[in-house]
Structure 1
Amino acid sequence: MKVSVVDFFSGCGGTSLGFRNAGMSILAGIDNDPNAAATYRRNFPEAKFFERDIREMSVAEVKKVLPRSGKILFSGCAPCQPFSKQNRGRDDNDPRRSLLTEFERFVVALKPDYVVVENVPGMQKVGMDGPLGRFIAALEAAGYKVECKVLDASHFGVPQRRLRLVLVAALGDAAPMPNPTHGGKRQPLSTVRDWIRDLPQIAAGETHPDDPDHAAMSLSELNYRRMLATPEGGGRESWEEDLLLNCHQGHAGHTDVYGRLAWDRPASAMTTRCLSYSNGRYGHPDQHRAISLREAAILQTFPRDFRFSGTLTSRGRQVGNAVPPLLAQRVAEAILAMPRSRGRRTPLTQRAEVVPA
């Protein structure tokens, strides 16, 4: 079954990569971040790229890239920060909360065969009268059957504890969800050691000469001392009092901050600040530095030859925002495994009339 993909809010291309690895064809990516756009173009030369804000695009522009045969999938992994529990300054008026409605505009007009959305679990807690509930209602009114679940990426081979809300919709068919492959009585969970143990050593602030993405942020003298006092898999519970921050005195919470990863467990979820020792459990298990950009990308399951563009901070943000390619691949494989007898794609010319918006 041939499936062609338009990746809305593509970022650097985690979803596109997973779908391509599963055998889908990547038609186009859409994102307004210039560094993510440069990364995407670099790694997906076969795809058209719209470096645009979706709110400024017309439905007709996307229609032009769609093939006249085969099945079509729209992926819409909108920015998750407005719904994330990590964002303590969440604003109900944040304009990013409307992006799912903008994505809906393209789905309802062009009726792709499949729709995939990935976001943080907190998104569904906004309520059925919130962005997700309204989006699901619009899909169902347009003839889609919808499945929505919170998936743990570690259950699909990703070496990272990462809970994500995944929505799959199929036009007129039951929507498939991937079955877990790891954990419990299945294969053991993938670990940090499985994926990054053989990378060459670098020091804090260094970049490896053979890989410009194997680069680590610098450490202050105080944070270097904290790193020395932190064992593999440990955190500030092992520090002497003079190393503690004032806000940590007598406070038992936020134990992942200033922590090291453990070799034989999955990593903590990679965030947009995954290169910063002070922003999570992102210390290397035994080297005295935070994980490098390459290590973070590998823990997200990007291949080692995937190249990123922009400053180190921007590249880290791209990695943290990405859908793990391996998780996306498992979702795509579930879609591709659907019985072929479930119907053929309606020709584009017979679908809803497209009006520029």
Structure 2
Amino acid sequence: MPSNMTAKCRKKESKSSADRPLVCVDLFAGAGGFSFAAMQAGFTVAAAVELNAHACKTYKKNIADAHGVSLYEGDILGVCPDTIKKLDIGDGQECDVLLGGPPCQGFSVHRIKGAGVDDPRNQLILKYFEFVKTIRPKVFLMENVPGMLWERHRTFLDAFYLQARATDYKVLQPIEIDARDYGVPQRRKRVFILGIRGDMDLDIHWPPRPTHGDAKALEQDETLQPWLSAQTVFQMDDVAGDINNVHMRHSPELIKVFKATPKNGGSRHQSGRVLKCHQGHDGHKDVYGRIDPLKPAPTMTTACINPSKGRFVHPTEDHGITVRQAARFQTFPDSFQFEGGLIASGVQVGNAVPVKLGQILMETIKEGLISDPKKK
């Protein structure tokens, strides 16, 4: 339990509902992309929960220590929602937004049917709504991969909506959002589900109106800006002493492949070389390919610093992208440092909600909250 909880609780209880800031709690917080975005949008993050030790170190360094956020480090199944409600939100106070969503991989049909209800992964959905029932946020916002809408995950989605109705929340239909439509220089599709407490009469314009688009979209809407290309990241200068300005070390054989691969978007098939690992089969077409600087970058996955996992080779240099470049594609500021080393940092970056997108989502929710006639 964080040592500063009691002091924070007293401070929050001393504030009236009239002058308190909008408050959110971040479950499955990761390195803090959504929390950081919420703060950029003007929210106060009261508490966060995260299991991964490296992500916790990153969260503490960039958010918790600097902004007084209570970080619960460990399995969410062992965290008591009532503790967060009493110590971090404060008796008599309200949580405005509950962020985060249970990892989708824990809810595939074969796991639910085969593993049984005793599998802890299948308890995450129930635990999520234990937080909803206890904290009673005005709004909850869940983010997940598009795969959660696949038919084989129908059990998870149905269970989610069933739990939401049981806790008296109006849940909007899942929406798929591409981050490049909101000023993120990356193709990244994610599903967001917004829930509104039954007694709230909120006018939230959901989903937010896109700010960017392709040429066709720009012809139809002159207020849009063009998608940001990967070049916006690669043109940025390095920051002296940046611990995240590192990339993977590659074998001499692999470097030869990179050197033979055409610059600015070339694929390994154009290199004229075949790696031993691809002899006898074609492999994924984007593996070891260069990022095209004139287009939005590919999705930054948890393996985004590894060229063997996708099109993650620098456009003109003969190595994979750095952690910092990946973080810039996720619109993290250069002041945000990732802990845990190369691989662990890449995982944290790939799991994060892009800061720019998260900020727009939270600003949209904020507009609905502050215009609520019931808000005191």
Do 2:85 and 2:134's aligned partners in 1 also have CA atoms closer than 8 Å? no
1:95 deviates by: 4.5
Q: 1:97 to 1:286 in 2, by over 3 A?
A: farther
Q: 1:306 to 1:341 in 2, by over 3 A?
A: closer
Question: For residue 78 of structure 1, what is the amino acid of its counterpart?
Answer: P
Q: Which has the higher contact order (CA 8 A, sep 6+)?
A: 1
Matched, 1:134 2:159: yes
> Could you say what secondary structure the match of 1:109 adopts?
helix
Q: Which residue of 1 aligns with 2:71?
A: 49
Do 1:158 and 1:299's aligned partners in 2 also have CA atoms closer than 8 Å? yes
Distance in 2 (CA, whole Å) between partners of 1:270 and 1:83 is 23
Distance in 2 (CA, whole Å) between partners of 1:101 and 1:10 is 18
Query: Structure 1 residues 73-82 or 33-42, which shifts more?
Result: 73-82
Q: Which residue of 2 aligns with 1:212?
A: 243
Q: 1:16 to 1:257 in 2, by over 3 A?
A: same
Q: 1:114 to 1:129 in 2, by over 3 A?
A: same
Q: Which residue of 2 aligns with 1:318?
A: 348
- TM-score normalised by L of structure 1: 0.86
- Matches for 1:338-353 after TM superposition, within 5 Å: 338=368, 340-344=370-374
1:264 deviates by: 1.2
Distance in 2 (CA, whole Å) between partners of 1:125 and 1:225 is 40
Do 2:95 and 2:135's aligned partners in 1 also have CA atoms closer than 8 Å? no
Q: Which residue of 2 aligns with 1:118?
A: 143
Do 2:186 and 2:329's aligned partners in 1 also have CA atoms closer than 8 Å? yes
Deviation string, structure 1 residues 325-344 (Cα, Å, up to 9, x no partner): 11111110110111645343
Do 2:94 and 2:137's aligned partners in 1 also have CA atoms closer than 8 Å? no
> Could you say what secondary structure the match of 2:212 adopts?
coil
> Could you say what secondary structure the match of 2:89 adopts?
coil
Deviation string, structure 1 residues 92-148 (Cα, Å, up to 9, x no partner): 547435423311111022211010110101112246852222112221332222222
Question: For residue 247 of structure 2, what is the amino acid of its counterpart?
Answer: A
Percent identity, please.
Answer: 35
1:177 to 203, 207, 212: 207
Q: Which residue of 1 aligns with 2:12?
A: none
> Could you say what secondary structure the match of 1:338 adopts?
helix
Q: 1:254 to 1:32 in 2, by over 3 A?
A: same
Distance in 2 (CA, whole Å) between partners of 1:79 and 1:36 is 15
Distance in 1 (CA, whole Å) between partners of 2:316 and 2:42 is 38
Matched, 1:38 2:57: yes
Distance in 2 (CA, whole Å) between partners of 1:282 and 1:79 is 24
Deviation string, structure 1 residues 200-256 (Cα, Å, up to 9, x no partner): 4xxxxxxx862111111100111101111112212122022x4244546563x6211
Q: Which residue of 1 aligns with 2:42?
A: 23
Do 2:107 and 2:153's aligned partners in 1 also have CA atoms closer than 8 Å? no
Matched, 1:75 2:106: no
Matched, 1:149 2:175: yes
- TM-score normalised by L of structure 2: 0.82
Do 1:71 and 1:345's aligned partners in 2 also have CA atoms closer than 8 Å? no
Matched, 1:66 2:96: no
Q: Which residue of 2 aligns with 1:162?
A: 188
> Could you say what secondary structure the match of 1:267 adopts?
coil
1:159 deviates by: 0.8
1:4 to 3, 23, 35: 23
1:286 deviates by: 0.7
1:292 to 300, 322, 328: 322
Distance in 1 (CA, whole Å) between partners of 2:188 and 2:323 is 18
Distance in 2 (CA, whole Å) between partners of 1:320 and 1:215 is 16
1:291 deviates by: 0.4
Distance in 2 (CA, whole Å) between partners of 1:63 and 1:217 is 43
- Matches for 1:250-289 after TM superposition, within 5 Å: 251=282, 254-289=284-319
Q: 1:327 to 1:29 in 2, by over 3 A?
A: same
> Could you say what secondary structure the match of 2:48 adopts?
strand
**What 5-or-longer segments of structure 1 have no aligned partner?**
85-89, 201-207, 347-357
Query: Structure 1 residues 294-303 or 40-49, which shifts more?
Result: 40-49
2:126 to 96, 101, 121: 101
> Could you say what secondary structure the match of 1:259 adopts?
coil
Q: 1:54 to 1:126 in 2, by over 3 A?
A: farther
Q: Which residue of 2 aligns with 1:349?
A: none
1:239 to 271, 291, 309: 271
Q: 1:83 to 1:187 in 2, by over 3 A?
A: farther
Q: CA RMSD in A?
A: 2.4
Do 1:69 and 1:345's aligned partners in 2 also have CA atoms closer than 8 Å? no
Deviation string, structure 1 residues 135-166 (Cα, Å, up to 9, x no partner): 12221332222222011111111111111011
